[in-house]
Amino acid sequence: MAASTNVVRLAAVSDIHYNKNSQGTLQPLFAQITESADVLLLCGDLTDYGQPEEARILARDLTASVKIPIVGVLGNHDFESGQEQELIRIMADAGVRILDGDTYETHDVGFAGVRGFCGGFGRGALGAWGESVIKAFVHEAIQEALKLETALARLRTKHLIALLHYSPVRETVEGESLEIFPFLGSSRLEEPLSRFDVLAVFHGHAHKGSPEGRTAKGIPVFNVALPVLQKAYPDRPTFRLFEVHTETPTAEAGGITPINDRRQWGRRATDRQPGSDRTAAGGENPSPS
């Protein structure tokens, strides 16, 4: 169904690390996301140890609280037990679309997602040279970048969003120890982003990183790991909220605007009526800047 306005709201969070004792802990947050956004983005580390029991607990909370489309990718923690395919099945049964070189489209916004991989950034990136184990490590990063490129190429929507777990740029891992930078992302993931007119990139993984950065070509990159959001925005609920202006791009971030004023949160964009100055919940209706 087409949106009733030219704005689509995205809520994004990552690294929620559900474990066997997490039942109900994030339901209030999920309920607020449902009231505020049109799509929920989950950028990996959905579980703590990648165990199906953890995924089932998360699935129950999502099913009970979230009434909007959910799109996500897995993170490294979700692979820990070697049961990632079962996690994907459990999430699918709960209506969560886990992307692994796949795409999802809604309201003229297209999402391409992969887990990504590590290897470092820029001149410090690990090269495929020497021992076979090093070559295999680098090959994994290259394969993830190729999957992302293939997914982006399949999208036919006007606005493209990339979902990752690992960072494609150094800027959003700043704050972590320098020693672990090579394990937080790979600049190889930046290459396919630059070949397409990607509107924004969302990722997690770097718990002590920075919330925002940009690629070399100016594509905005957002680290939405829950610990990052707790530290950077202690006065807000622990998710980021964005508006994608599907008709008239804004000057800020090329058509995607972070919503930082809590007075502008409320009913999601597709519940608002065209031309209205108020949301259905009675809050302010932000107009594109």
Reply yes or no on whether the pLDDT at 114 is more than 80.
yes
Write down the residue that tokens 């302010």 correspond to.
284
> Cα separations (Å) of 101 from 63, 114, 180, 239?
25, 5, 26, 24
Per-residue pLDDT reduced to its tens digit, 206-223: 999 999 999 999 999 999
Reply yes or no on whether the pLDDT at 5 is more than 80.
no
Closest CA to 75 of 170, 171, 185, 149: 185
CA 170, 173, 175, 176 torsion-angle sign: negative
Q: What whole-number distance in Å separates Cα of residue 247 and Cα of residue 240?
A: 22
Reply yes or no on whether the pLDDT at 275 is more than 60.
no
What are 253's two structure tokens? 């971030």
Please say whether the beta carbons of 259 and 253 come within 8 A.
no
pLDDT score at 255: 81
Please say whether the beta carbons of 118 and 185 come within 8 A.
yes
Write down the residue that tokens 């807000």 correspond to.
236
pLDDT band for position 251 (cuts 50, 70, 90): very low
Q: What whole-number distance in Å separates Cα of residue 79 and Cα of residue 71?
A: 18
Q: Return the percentage of the chain with pLDDT > 70, whole number.
A: 86
pLDDT score at 197: 86
169 or 289, higher pLDDT: 169
Q: What whole-number distance in Å separates Cα of residue 6 and Cα of residue 276?
A: 12
pLDDT score at 107: 87
pLDDT score at 106: 93
Domain residue spans of the chain: 7-271
Model's pTM, two decimal places? 0.89
> Cα separations (Å) of 55 from 33, 60, 70, 84?
19, 9, 15, 10
- Is CATH 3.60.21.10 the classification given to domain 7-271? yes
